[in-house]
Amino acid sequence: MFGKLKEKLSSFVDKVAQTEISEKDVENALWDLELELLEADVALEVVDELKEKIKQKLVGQKVKIGTNKREIVEKAVKEAVLEVLTHERHIDLLEMIKSKKEKPFVIVFVGFNGSGKTTTIAKLANWLKKNGLSVVIAASDTFRAGAIEQVEEHAKRVGVKLIKHGYKSDPAAVAYDAIEHAKARGIDVVLVDTAGRNELNRNLMDEMKKIVRVTKPDLVIFVGDALAGNAIIEQARQFNEAVRIDGVILTKLDADARGGAALSIAHAIGAPILFVGVGQGYDDLMPFDEKWMLEKIFGE
Ligand SMILES: Nc1nc2c(ncn2[C@@H]2O[C@H](COP(=O)(O)OP(=O)(O)OP(=O)(O)O)[C@@H](O)[C@H]2O)c(=O)[nH]1
């Protein structure tokens, strides 16, 4: 008999005891977040996307009075960041290499000077070896003085063969030779080191296009220095226009306190992060893990 009344009363209590998160509440909170993200080197377009996602998750959500709104907002922010970090295209490198019918699997590395390309190639060679694959490196940076000796030293230390010509020789020819060498000996992977370059250097950009044309790589990987912050988004875009980038390796994440580059780059050029460099040793290369990155961003 009192059932109906009870129901009405309890729904009234629920209504009074809970508030709805309004667009205005969220807007105010997002304003602070926006500044923080921009300061942490997150690209503007990524900030906008994050804000939109957070708004969608929160506006209209009903919360019981007395519950900690901060926790709810924090959860929404983390979910949104994880969504931005999670790229729709996931590359399982080992799987990709193993499933290629004809050896070798060819990877060309591109990036600005000093981004950590050569060190990263050595780290990756080390990682591939540990995973049971054979590797040869092509010393296709025939431009910068000392580059050949540098990559040679790395190759020696990680115990992989290096194919080299002299300075000023055609880098595409070096890469081609490395591929022929791998074919003849059944080597699984060819890693091509290229000269660091920027868009302003037209000759080097054209040369890089030629390396890609000649080697027809399975992957072109952009190596970016996380310390460069927002600037690497622009660098990656320039390379992506010249030769399509399939994946990214972010270096020096051990020294980057902000992490904004990681949040922006995959999104900005539409290619996933494959690995991150977390130190100068050969083992300091980690397959990229979104959850790890999320921890790093919200850790403290
Ligand atoms: N802390 C830290 N240092 C790194 C990492 N990766 C590379 N480095 C350092 O960055 C410096 C530059 O690395 P290189 O590998 O020489 O750079 P590069 O891109 O080949 O340089 P170019 O040949 O000029 O294009 C070296 O001192 C590396 O030890 C990393 O993940 N963390």
**Is the CB–ligand 1 distance for residue 235 below 6 Å?**
no
* Distance (Å) from CA 129 to ligand 1 centroid: 21
Per the structure block, which two tokens stand in for 33?
A: 């977040």
Give residue 249's pLDDT. 96
Is the complex ipTM more than 0.90?
Answer: yes
Ligand 1 midpoint to CA 300 (Å): 27
CA of 113 to the centre of ligand 1 (A): 9
Task: Name the one residue in this structure whose structure tokens are 């009363």.
Answer: 9
Any known ligand binding at 252? yes
Candidate of 280, 282, 288 to mutate for ligand 1, largest count of ligand atoms within 8 Å of Cβ: 280
Please report the atom of ligand 1 found closest to the CA of residue 279.
32
Substitution site in 127, 235, 251, 275 for ligand 1 pocket (most atoms within 8 Å of beta carbon): 251
Q: What is the pLDDT along the chain (300 residues), one digit of tens a residue?
A: 455 655 665 665 555 556 778 888 788 778 878 888 888 778 888 889 888 998 999 888 887 777 777 778 778 888 988 888 888 788 899 999 999 999 999 999 999 988 999 999 999 999 999 999 999 999 999 988 899 999 999 999 999 999 999 999 999 999 999 999 999 999 999 999 999 876 667 788 899 999 999 999 999 999 999 888 888 888 888 899 989 999 999 999 988 766 778 888 877 888 999 999 999 999 999 999 988 888 877 765
pLDDT value of residue 294: 82
At 197, list the tokens: 């370059």
DSSP result, 182-193: HHHHT-SEEEEE
Other C-beta atoms lying within 10 Å of the C-beta of residue 22: 12
Q: φ, ψ for residue 251 (rounded to 5)?
A: -100, 165
Domains of the chain with CATH codes: 3-85 (1.20.120.140), 93-287 (3.40.50.300)
Put simply, whether the predicted model's pTM sits higher than 0.95 gets the answer no
At residue 14, the pLDDT reads 57
Q: What is the pLDDT of residue 257?
A: 66
Per-residue confidence (pLDDT) for residue 10, from 0 to 100: 61
Tokens of 151: 């990559």
DSSP string, 230-294: THHHHHHHHHHHHS---EEEEE-TTT-SS-HHHHHHHHHHT--EEEEE-SSSTT-EEE--HHHHH
* AA identity, residue 172: A
- Cα(124)–Cα(11) distance, rounded to whole angstroms? 60
Q: Name the strand (E) or helix (H) holding 108.
A: strand 105-110
Find where tokens 């230390």 sit: 157
Residue linked to tokens 């807007």: 27
Q: How far is the CA of 33 from the centre of ligand 1 (A)?
A: 32
120 is in an annotated binding site: no
Q: Tokens at residue 267, please?
A: 């999104």
Q: Given ligand 1 and candidates 113, 119, 232, which is best to mutate, with the most ligand atoms within 8 Å of its CB? A: 119
| CA distance linking residue 72 with residue 30, whole number of Å | 14
Q: Are the C-beta atoms of residues 178 and 137 closer than 8 Å to each other?
A: yes
